[in-house]
């Protein structure tokens, strides 16, 4: 029996999971870490935390499972997208990594758009966003030149972990799309874009397919983790892509909605979709792409409210109260764009809005409104995809939000389409395990991997709620359009009157 080790480096914790060759979970372990917010719009994490969490979760798994480390046939790593971590020749993290939530590079974004014009879009296939790799790397170059000059490599998060394991520098192909340094059609770095920004090409790790074996566990990593030296390591993927793979999305027209901190809706396609309202990047499966939009604080909005105002309330009670509130009891809306928003809105200045509150509203109504807000935002993404001419065949929902039957039913009712819930909720590490399995030959093909998947439940839309939700969705769009300029006004006030 061969096993597959999968690492899911997320925003709040690292989860490491061990699967057998039939993709059955054998053992898992997780460790949290902190995010620092030194200034408004900044978000940083220490790369040493990531490695510490990986080392200790691996040790826990080996102890729990009792397997021989030599029976691990491959290792796959996924991580949050668009991190930038500068690392020295000797392997020192030169500063905390700028993670996906970090939007400090607004001026760099504007400079790139003004300097590169249409070429940035024509080559990269994505609108420039301050949260992405290229603008943040340019911010380091402009504002911390001593860090830039000392760096041997600028890693994405999973690339750093793979390098710690193998000593081989790599970037998986799924990270290229949101780098603004990448040719989306050809799947390779763009010399034209890299040169235009004044970057050193040899400090940006080379591109690999997600399932490519980039190297093997070296002696130092083996001694630190307990893994066997020589265990193959594949390039891995961003977490959103791994989640799609783990959900079973492997054919054109299949959709996954990943309801975590970020709520992403991604559609598998067999050719790039150049649409300025969507994000586009490569799938784990070669010659397939994903066209994606989302709500950047979608699943986290409800958690924020609960932790802030009702921290002791069990999640099961949140579900019960939201369901009991009734669909038409308090027609109100929540715009869930609390931290700025990438595709489809492409506005760094958005913040959350509760609209329609009155003194009769109870906690259950608020929970329901927050859940519905994420669903309306997801419906907007799916509508944009369909309007671009892409036919949607099947929808899968994963992530923490999918653990709630109530929330999942709201999604089906508001979007007006049936949802399937995969048997495993931890689809990101499962997707990484599939990449490792196919890349090392433990699993013969991606089709064979998906055939091992199971569906735990289905949600059909309640057609009696269609007219109500259609009108509320139209109002949702109108509300956002009406106040969009106010976000910029509020951002100007934040800039002119910084926090004490």
From residue 253, give the alpha-carbon distance in Å to each of 16, 217, 256, 386, 388: 30, 37, 10, 10, 12
Q: What is the pLDDT of residue 57?
A: 98
Mean pLDDT of the chain: 95
Q: What is the pLDDT of residue 259?
A: 87
Tell whether 143 and 268 lie within a shared domain.
Answer: no
Tell me what the mean pLDDT of segment 151-165 comes to.
98
Same domain, yes or no: 338 and 198 = no
Looking at residue 95, what is its pLDDT?
Answer: 98
Residues 270 and 333 in one domain: yes
240: in domain: no
Residues 270 and 320 both lie in one domain: yes
Query: What pLDDT score was predicted for residue 399?
Result: 82
Which value, to the nearest 10 degrees, does the dihedral of the CA atoms of residues 453, 455, 456, 459 take?
A: 160
CATH code for position 27: 3.30.420.40
Task: Report pLDDT digits (tens) over 56-104.
Answer: 999 999 999 999 999 999 999 999 999 999 999 999 999 999 999 999 9
Decide which of 179, 201, 235 is a domain's last residue. Answer: 235
Q: Do residues 263 and 225 both lie within one domain?
A: no
Q: Is residue 365 part of a domain?
A: yes
pLDDT tens digits, 351-382 = 999 999 999 999 999 999 999 999 999 999 99
Once rounded to an integer, what is the mean pLDDT over residues 389-413? Answer: 93
Residues 480 and 454 in one domain: yes
Structure tokens at 201: 């090409």
Q: Domain check: are 183 and 287 in the same one?
A: no
| pLDDT range class, residue 342, cuts 50, 70, 90 | confident
Q: What is the per-residue pLDDT for 454?
A: 84
252 and 231 belong to one structural domain: no
Omega before residue 163 within 30° of 0, cis: no
pLDDT score at 346: 86
Domains held by the chain: number: 2
206 and 270 share one domain: no
Does residue 422 belong to any structural domain of this protein? yes
Q: Which of 235, 260, 285 is the last residue of a domain?
A: 235
Is 164 found in the same domain as 48?
yes
Could you tell me if residue 336 is inside a domain? yes
Prior bond of 344 cis (ω within 30°): yes
Task: In whole angstroms, give the CA distance from residue 400 to residue 410.
Answer: 15
For the cut 90, the answer to whether the pLDDT of residue 423 exceeds it is no
Answer whether 282's CB lies under 8 Å from 289's CB. yes
Residues 153, 271 share a domain: no
How much is the average pLDDT of 136-154?
98
pLDDT the model gives residue 153: 98
Query: Is residue 343 over pLDDT 90?
Result: no
Rounded-to-integer distance, Cα 316 and Cα 314, Å: 5
pLDDT confidence of 258, banded at 50, 70, 90?
confident
- pLDDT tens-place string over residues 208-238: 999 999 999 999 999 999 999 999 999 999 9
Domain around 472: 248-500
| 421 and 396 Cβ atoms separated by less than 8 Å | yes
Same domain, yes or no: 12 and 105: yes
- pLDDT in the model for residue 498: 85
Average pLDDT value for residue range 126-153: 96
Residue 18 CA, chain-centre distance (Å), reads: 21
Per-residue confidence (pLDDT) for residue 345, from 0 to 100: 92
Would 103 be classed as within a structural domain? Answer: yes
At 2 the pLDDT is 96
Within a domain: residue 243? Answer: no
Assess if residue 301 is contained within a domain: yes
Q: Assess contact for 2 and 44: CB atoms under 8 A.
A: no
pLDDT of residue 94: 98
Q: What is the mean pLDDT of residues 278-288?
A: 95
Judge whether 242 lies within some domain. no
Nearest to 47 by CA among 170, 160, 141: 160
- Statement: the pTM of the whole predicted model exceeds 0.75: yes
Mean pLDDT, range 289-312, rounded to an integer: 93
Domain end: 201, 235, 269, which one?
235
By the 8 A CB rule, do 434 and 424 touch?
Answer: no
């Amino acid at each position: 029996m061969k096993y597959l080790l999968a690492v899911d480096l997320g925003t709040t914790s690292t989860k490491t999971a061990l699967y057998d060759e039939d993709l059955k979970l054998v053992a898992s372990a997780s460790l949290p870490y902190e995010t620092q917010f030194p200034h408004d719009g900044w978000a940083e994490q220490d790369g040493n935390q990531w490695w510490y969490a990986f080392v200790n979760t691996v040790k826990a798994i080996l102890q729990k499972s009792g397997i021989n480390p030599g029976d691990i046939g491959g290792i796959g790593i996924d991580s949050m997208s668009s991190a930038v971590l500068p690392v020295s020749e000797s392997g020192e993290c030169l500063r905390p990594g700028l993670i996906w939530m970090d939007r400090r590079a607004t001026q760099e974004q504007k400079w790139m758009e003004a300097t590169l014009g249409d070429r940035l879009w024509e080559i990269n296939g994505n609108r420039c966003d301050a949260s992405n790799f290229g603008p943040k790397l340019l911010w380091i170059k402009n504002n911390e030149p001593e860090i830039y000059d000392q760096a041997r490599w600028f890693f994405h998060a999973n690339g750093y972990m793979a390098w710690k394991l193998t000593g081989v520098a790599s970037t998986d192909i799924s990270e290229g799309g949101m780098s603004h340094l990448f040719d989306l059609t050809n799947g390779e770095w763009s010399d034209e874009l890299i040169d235009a920004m004044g970057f050193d090409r040899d400090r940006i790790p080379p591109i690999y397919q997600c399932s490519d074996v980039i190297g093997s566990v070296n002696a130092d990593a083996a001694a630190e983790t307990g893994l066997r030296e020589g265990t193959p390591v594949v390039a891995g993927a961003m977490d959103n892509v791994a989640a799609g793979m783990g959900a079973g999305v492997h054919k054109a027209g299949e959709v996954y909605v990943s309801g975590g901190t970020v709520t992403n809706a991604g559609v598998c396609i067999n050719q790039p979709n150049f649409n300025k309202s969507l994000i586009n990047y490569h799938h784990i499966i070669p010659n397939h792409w994903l066209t994606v939009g989302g709500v950047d604080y979608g699943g986290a909005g409800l958690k924020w409210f609960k932790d802030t105002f009702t921290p002791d309330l069990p999640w099961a009670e949140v579900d019960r109260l939201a369901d009991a509130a009734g669909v038409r009891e308090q027609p109100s809306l929540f715009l869930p764009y609390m931290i700025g928003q990438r595709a489809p809105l492409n506005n760094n200045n958005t913040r959350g809005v509760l609209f329609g509150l009155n003194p009769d509203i109870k906690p259950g109504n608020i929970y329901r409104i927050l859940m519905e807000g994420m669903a309306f935002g997801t419906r907007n993404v799916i509508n944009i995809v369909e309007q671009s001419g892409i036919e949607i065949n099947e929808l899968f929902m994963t992530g923490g939000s999918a653990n709630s039957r109530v929330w999942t039913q709201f999604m089906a009712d508001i979007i007006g389409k049936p949802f399937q819930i995969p048997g495993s909720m931890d689809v990101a590490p499962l997707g990484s395990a599939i990449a490792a399995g196919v890349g090392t030959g433990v699993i013969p093909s991606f089709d064979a991997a998906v055939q091992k998947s199971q569906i735990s439940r289905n949600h059909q839309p309640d057609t009696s709620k269609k007219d109500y939700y259609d009108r509320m969705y139209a109002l949702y769009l109108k509300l956002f359009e009406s106040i969009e300029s106010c976000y910029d006004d509020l951002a100007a006030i934040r800039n002119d009157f910084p926090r004490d």
